[in-house]
Structure 1
Amino acid sequence: MTGSALTGFALGVWVYLETGSTTQLALTFVLAFLPAIVFSPLAGALVDRWDRRVILLVGDAVGIGTTLTLGLLFTAGHLEPWHIFVTTVIRSLLRAMQVPALNSIVVLLAPKEQIGRANGLMGVANAISQTVAPALGGALMLAIGLNGVLFIDCATFFLNVVVLFLTRIPTPPASEAGSEGKGSLRSEIRQGWRVLAGNRALVTLAVFYAALDLSVGFVDILITPMVIGFASVSALGMVLTVGGVGLVLGSVTMASWGGPRRRVHGTAGFAIPLGLFLCLGSLRPSVTLVAIAAFGFMFCSMIIDGTSRSIIGTEVEPDLQGRAFATFNMITNTVLCSSYLLAGPVSDRIFEPLLAQDGALAGSVGDIIGTGPGRGMALLLGLLGLLVLATAVVGYLTPGLRGLSDKVTKPAEQSPEAEQSSEEEPARTADAGPSQDAGATGDTGRETTVGTARQPISDR
Structure 2
Amino acid sequence: MTDESEKMTAEQKNLYSRFLFIWFGQFISVIGTGLTVFSLGVYVYQQTNTASSYVFILMCVFLPPFLLKPYGGILADRYDRRLMMILGDLGATLGLLFIFFMMLKGNIQLWQIYLGIATSSVFSAFQEPAYKALITDLLPEAQYARASGLVQLASSAQYLISPFLAGILLTIIDIKFIFLIDTTTLLISSSIVIWIRNISGKVKIDQHKQNIIADLKEGMKEFSNNRGVFNLVIITMITLFFVGLLQSLFIPLLLSLTTVKTVGISQSICASGILIGSLFIGVFGSKNKYVKTLSISLFLSGIFFANLGLSKNIIFVTLAGFMFFATLPFINTSIEVLIRKNIDNRKQGRVWSLISMITYLGSIMAFAVAGFLADKIFNPLLEVDGLLAETAGFITGTGENRGIALMFIISGLMISMIALLIWQNEKIKRLEYVESQDSGIDLSFQPG
- Of 339, 351, 368, the residue aligned with 1:324 is 351
CA contact (8 A) 1:41 1:327 kept: yes
Aligned counterpart, 2:155: 126
Shift of 1:210: 1.1
Q: Which residue of 2 aligns with 1:413?
A: none
Q: How does 1:4-403 map to 2 (within 5 A)?
A: 4-12=33-41, 25-72=54-101, 74-75=103-104, 81-146=110-175, 148-167=177-196, 168=200, 171=203, 183-229=210-256, 236-403=263-430
What are the superposed Cα offsets for residues 115-171 of structure 1, whole Å, 9 maximum, x if unpaired? 111011111111123322223224324433345333323332332233113323774
CA distance in 1, matches of 2:102, 2:415: 46
Once residues 330 and 385 of structure 1 are traced to their aligned partners in structure 2, the CA distance between those partners, rounded to angstroms, is 23
Q: Distance in 1 between matches of 2:402 and 2:233?
A: 32
CA distances 1:61-118 after superposition (whole Å, capped 9, x unpaired) = 3234554455455445596554443332322221011101000111111221011110
Unaligned residue ranges in structure 1 (runs of 5+):
407-430, 446-460
Q: Report the structure number with the largest CA radius of gyration.
A: 1
Q: After superposition, what is the alpha-carbon deviation per residue over 1:217-273, rounded to whole angstroms, capped at 9, x for unaligned? A: 111233334445555556544432321211221221221233341110232221011
What is the CA-CA distance between 1:194 and the residue it aligns to?
A: 1.7
Going from structure 1 to structure 2, the CA distance change for 1:70 and 1:241 (only over 3 Å counts) comes to closer
- Deviation at 1:379? 2.5
Question: Which deviations, in whole Å up to 9, do the C-alpha atoms of 1:27-54 show, x marking residues without a partner?
Answer: 3322222221111222211211111122
Alignment match, 1:443: 443
Cα offset for 1:327?
0.8
Aligned CA distance change for structure 1 residues 182 and 301 (closer, same or farther; 3 Å): farther
Equivalent pairs counted in the alignment come to 413
Match for 2:275: what amino acid? V
Distance of 2:403 and 2:50 partners within structure 1: 24
> 1:434 and 2:437 equivalent?
yes
- Does the 8 Å contact 2:92/2:121 carry over to 1? no
Q: Show structure 2 runs of 5+ residues with no match.
A: 1-29
User: Structure 2 length as normaliser, TM-score?
Assistant: 0.82
Of the structure 1 ranges 32-41 and 362-371, higher mean CA displacement relative to structure 2 is found in: 362-371
3-state SS, counterpart of residue 143 of structure 1: coil
The TM-score with structure 1 as length reference comes to: 0.80
> Which residue identity does 1:443 align to in structure 2?
L
Cα 1:50–1:242 change in 2 (3 A) is same
Q: Distance in 2 between matches of 1:318 and 1:442?
A: 9
The question of whether the paired residues in 2 share the 8 Å contact of 1:247 and 1:298 is answered with yes
Task: Quote the Cα distance in structure 2 between the aligned partners of 1:74 and 1:364.
Answer: 46
Q: Give SS of 1:271's match.
A: helix
RMSD: 3.0
Q: Structure 1 residues 64, 47: CA separation in 2 closer, same or farther (over 3 Å shift)?
A: same
The sequence identity of aligned pairs, in percent, is 25
User: Which structure carries more helix by proportion?
Assistant: 2
